[in-house]
Amino acid sequence: MNRRILISGAGIAGPTLAWWLHRYGWQVTVVERAVGLRTAGQNVDVRGAAREVIRRMGLDDELAARGTGEVGTRFVDEQGHTIAAFRAATSDTAGATAEREILRSQFAELLLERTRGHTDYRFGEQIERIDDGPDAATVTFAGGVTERFGVVVLADGVNSTTRDAVFGEVPRRPLGVSIAYYSIPRDAEDDDWWRWYNAPGGRTISLRPDNVGRIRVMLSYRAGLGAPDRLDLQRRFADAGGPASRALRGLADADDLYGEALQQVRAPRWSAGRVVLLGDAAWCATPVSGMGTSLAIVGASTLAGELAVHVHPRDAFAGYERRLRPYVERAQRLPPGTPKLAHPTSATGVALLRTGLRLVGALPPAVAGRLFAPPADRFTLPDFPQPEAAEGSPGSPSGTPTGR
């Protein structure tokens, strides 16, 4: 069998898969459309079964060391006074603030560091065409080169164009909420809490600490399908009150604005011939599920394990989908009213939400923490042959290219 694997996308799913595949003896190439690792976005959290995968990769202490330092989540009113506060979790799955919160860009960088010694990364490159065959898939790259691979993995995110080229348009479920992320300078009054503020009109503003001396802003609002743009955000949040004026002042100067209209990807099948989908490209559950990154990690290790125990990719892909699909579907089934309940439109709705939060805030922390827990632990990691123990980083972070 052709032991070369091509992965499209150097986000979280792709490099995690590269790590596992190398341990199982595959020769891995990763193409990333951006010219370097993408640096936009804010925290991602790692929960449940994904924590165990990360431990098996020997990365849990690294994730802790590179954590954002967020101490918990505080819901605040117009004056910044606390409505309810929830300390960061001290377990694998629970908490609005999980035990492992890391900037997405730093996580991607860590994975790159740990795989670049053995993985052929090609930035600024992408797949142009895939011709599937009985023994291998022939891939033509945008740069003009043609190569053969035993397996092609499309891990190139929610808006994967390679997926659409192979599988056609896949069904999506829009959630009716858009999110914009960017960062602003930290000031003397900032602390290390995640501050969440609701304004009428279905708008939220949240401010989160990071470990590079900035504050990560997230603006979310009820909207249609358009991705957020700067002028539209200025207009929408101008009268939101609370931290709005500071957030909008920062928006004017932000060079790291990243946004999306939330939509789940519901691909009816995850493979076709020698091509398989992974991560957000296959099943984006959206950030409101609290499981996007955890699913990517669990999915990557499961796919690698299946490829290790099956001779033909077809059987590996069937096993991967059979094991993972129930977990993914569970993650995609958001709690009733999510995300609209967290985005009330009227002042009365905001007041009711705050009353509910005060009640939850009065519960014992362990009980309240579970209310915020997604079903990240509802997966039993398969018992694949364990590859050799994780080794140290073969690469150097200093040479890491960055892009947005």
Residue nearer to ligand FAD on the CB measure, 34 or 331? 34
Contact of 201 with 345, CB cutoff 8 Å: yes
Spell out, one character per residue from 37 to 66, where the chain touches ligand FAD: x when CB under 6 A holds, - when not.
Answer: -x-xxx-x----------------------
Work out whether 31 is an interface residue with ligand FAD (CB under 6 A).
Answer: yes
Is 328 one of the binding residues for ligand FAD (CB under 6 A)? Answer: no
State the nearest-atom distance from the C-beta of 348 to ligand FAD, in Å: 30
Choosing from 149, 167, 181, 237, the residue that interacts with ligand FAD (CB under 6 A) is: 181
43 DSSP assignment: E
Sign of CA dihedral 170, 46, 68, 222: positive
**Smallest separation (angstroms) from ligand FAD to the CB of 177:** 13
Is the Cβ of residue 293 or residue 301 nearer to ligand FAD in the bound state?
A: 293
Question: Which residue is listed with tokens 């993408």?
Answer: 38
Per-position x/- string for 202-231, each x denoting binding to ligand FAD as judged by CB under 6 A, each - no binding = ------------------------------
Q: Which SS3 state, helix, strand or coil, does residue 188 take?
A: coil
Q: What angle do CA 79, 102, 95 make, to 5 degrees?
A: 60
Residues 6+ apart with CB under 8 A from 81: none
Amino acid at 311: V
Contact residue for ligand FAD among 4, 5, 6, 9 (CB under 6 A): 9
Question: What residue spans of 31-138 are helical by DSSP H?
Answer: 49-56, 60-65, 104-115
What does the DSSP assignment read for 95-120? -SS-S-EEEHHHHHHHHHHHHTTTSE
User: Which span (153-161, 169-177, 244-252, 310-318) binds ligand FAD, by CB under 6 A?
Assistant: 153-161
Site string for ligand FAD, 69-108 (x = CB under 6 A): -----------------------------------x----
- Positive or negative, the Cα torsion across 9, 210, 242, 337? positive
Entry field: residues in the chain: 404
Which one of residues 92, 109, 156, 306 is an interface residue with ligand FAD (CB under 6 A)?
156
Please give the residues from 296 up to 325 whose contact with ligand FAD meets the rule CB under 6 A: 296
| Residue 17 in tokens | 């898969």
List residues near ligand FAD by CB under 6 A. 8-14, 31-34, 38, 40-42, 44, 104, 126, 155-157, 160-162, 181, 258, 279-280, 287, 292-293, 296
